[in-house]
Chains A and B, each alone.
Chain A
């Protein structure tokens, strides 16, 4: 048994740590890139979205390099994401691959567990402990990247702060206990408090909304975060694996979570539309009211929930005078068009900000 999995953001940190603690052999496929896209497009149906092509390509890469078991999360829609794994299995079998999938979904968990146990020989408690450990790692890593996005452009000495972040991230991969992970997180939060910063209003702040895969996977969003960071923009992003998974998986948190989102989105969208449509609308308003100068919505071509969200976000843009740029990510690899649009948007925001400052003076 050699387990592998498609990538999504930093989720592989949690998975590899869990599998390592349980002594199960695993294989990390290469990060999604042009090769994965090519492999995915060969098998994927014509109208499928970019995340599906990348996930499928990633699975093929894993299988080509020798994995025989794939782990992937299922779902219950109505976003297509929940059916990816079932369709992918059919497509891969049709293409002649031989493998087994472990689907994390209702009705499959017991089967998965017994299969893993036969291979590994560990107790249920050990599995839970290991999963918790892996989970903490992802939570901490995402917290660090959030701090980096929000504070690095404001630092008086960004190089030093950046080095510090890199150092901590490396330290994180070497940790061996949950306590150590939490310690690193606390250390960074302290360090931020001590670092001299520019006032928040002096830099441009942008919020990112959109579907989870596009926001979390750097290749799927043309590394927009790096680009914005290099342009000296603080980036705010509510979307994170660590925020989404607990709210979806734990039934006692789901109701409150949806209610909170609805309270923001209600005038423009009054129902959950699956995927991250409601999140996108709610976060647009939430961030628009609190901290940002503009919003960028990113979504793959043909993403159904985000199209509904787009109509609501357009309305918010008009009604609440919040600049919004909606970009559809298609399956082309060209950076130029993407960058041009971003640059124009940033320039417009900068000018608006300057005019506003002049008006106040």
Chain B
């Protein structure tokens, strides 16, 4: 029987899952994911986590609690950094995540919690993959072959994201080989909004109560950080006096600059979780930048455990109404987006 490796469907799942799924599958393991976030994972998470933690961390705990009895090994990498840039790492809670899980949840199976630190040394990802494979008793060419395949899958995934495919669909397309279901084309969107925030909030339809879908229904085109061409995203780094310390925050800030400078959108929506540490700063910086760039309308959408559909919808509707009114009011000030 194949060894079952568990991968919680939360946090970095939305950006790095295709790599690890392909890698483990090629090595002959079965990868088991938790269900998409639902009431159960939220309840389990709230129950297990220390009470001051933020919503995404609680959800992650919930996914682990759901998975722990179904798998032989849990894969909970310690995400430290994914590239060389000043002192960029992930948020402190990511750094201590495997420990938080171990400290809070009882009856866990074996855990693989290797440090993903790609800022140091030569070919860090290659070496990390071999280290993990070694722990699972896999050596030699098979690992190298799996590594290359995984890399290829990850590249395909990034390409899909850049082509405006939603993350979850792109993941299914890459790992399942399914054809891309043509996403609903919005005939003629009259409002363009940049929906910025961390991937685990933007792409988790349960946490954000189906935000992207609702926007599409309202005839609004949503732009996310993943749709910015990577090189142009990086080029925006120079706009801050010092890079932020957190990977996802830097991405969000750079996307903010990109959309503001390119005049591609009518407004910015920052999707944030209540109690998110880095976002307290990112949110303020975004607000100041929107103000500095021709007072671009800016909305903060804060999500928590009790987020109701009506609340989010009301806020978005009011924001969009305001945008439309504004456009009617001063036709000449409107940006001509391309």
Chain B: CB-nearest residue to A274? B92
Partner of B98, one of A79, A86, A270: A270
CB distance from B317 to the nearest CB of A (A): 23
Number of A-B contacts (CB under 8 A): 128
In contact, B96 and A78 (Cβ under 8 angstroms) = no
* Residue with the highest number of chain A CB atoms closer than 10 Å, among B92, B244, B245: B92
Report Cα–Cα, A259/B177, bound state, in Å: 46
B63 part of interface (Cβ distance < 8 Å): no
A258 part of interface (Cβ distance < 8 Å): no
* B221 surroundings in chain A (CB, below 8 A): none
Chain A: CB-nearest residue to B245? A77
* B100 surroundings in chain A (CB, below 8 A): 308, 311-312
In contact, A78 and B91 (Cβ under 8 angstroms) = yes
Contact with A along B58-80 (1 / 0, CB 8 A): 00000000000000000000101
CB distance from B271 to the nearest CB of A (A): 14
In contact, A308 and B95 (Cβ under 8 angstroms) = yes
* B98 surroundings in chain A (CB, below 8 A): 270
B52 part of interface (Cβ distance < 8 Å): yes
B86 part of interface (Cβ distance < 8 Å): yes
* A80 surroundings in chain B (CB, below 8 A): 277-278, 280-281
A273 part of interface (Cβ distance < 8 Å): yes
A45 part of interface (Cβ distance < 8 Å): yes
Report Cα–Cα, A89/B104, bound state, in Å: 39
B25 part of interface (Cβ distance < 8 Å): no
In contact, B92 and A277 (Cβ under 8 angstroms) = yes
In contact, A78 and B90 (Cβ under 8 angstroms) = yes
**Which segment of A27-35, A138-146, A297-305 sits at the interface?**
A297-305
In contact, A45 and B283 (Cβ under 8 angstroms) = yes
B217 part of interface (Cβ distance < 8 Å): no
B103 part of interface (Cβ distance < 8 Å): yes
* B276 surroundings in chain A (CB, below 8 A): 47
A314 part of interface (Cβ distance < 8 Å): yes
Contact with A along B94-134 (1 / 0, CB 8 A): 01101110011000000001010000000000000000000
Main secondary structure of the interface of B (DSSP, over half): mixed
Report Cα–Cα, A46/B52, bound state, in Å: 16
* A76 surroundings in chain B (CB, below 8 A): 86-87, 245
* B86 surroundings in chain A (CB, below 8 A): 76
A94 part of interface (Cβ distance < 8 Å): yes
CB distance from A280 to the nearest CB of B (A): 11
In contact, A274 and B95 (Cβ under 8 angstroms) = yes
Partner of A87, one of B49, B92, B93, B281: B281
Report Cα–Cα, A87/B279, bound state, in Å: 12
Report Cα–Cα, A270/B115, bound state, in Å: 10
In contact, B92 and A83 (Cβ under 8 angstroms) = no
Contact with A along B146-186 (1 / 0, CB 8 A): 00000000000000000000000000000000000000000
In contact, A90 and B285 (Cβ under 8 angstroms) = yes
* A304 surroundings in chain B (CB, below 8 A): 91-93, 277-278
In contact, B92 and A308 (Cβ under 8 angstroms) = yes
Report Cα–Cα, A209/B284, bound state, in Å: 30
In contact, B275 and A311 (Cβ under 8 angstroms) = no
Interface residues of B (CB under 8 A from A): 49-50, 52-53, 78, 80, 86-87, 89-93, 95-96, 98-100, 103-104, 113, 115, 240-242, 244-246, 274-281, 283-285, 288, 291
Interface residues of A (CB under 8 A from B): 45-49, 74, 76-80, 82-83, 86-87, 89-91, 94, 105, 268-275, 277, 301-305, 307-312, 314-315, 328
Known: A78-B90, A328-B52. 8 other contacts (CB 8 A): A45-B281, A78-B95, A90-B285, A270-B99, A277-B92, A309-B96, A311-B53, A312-B99
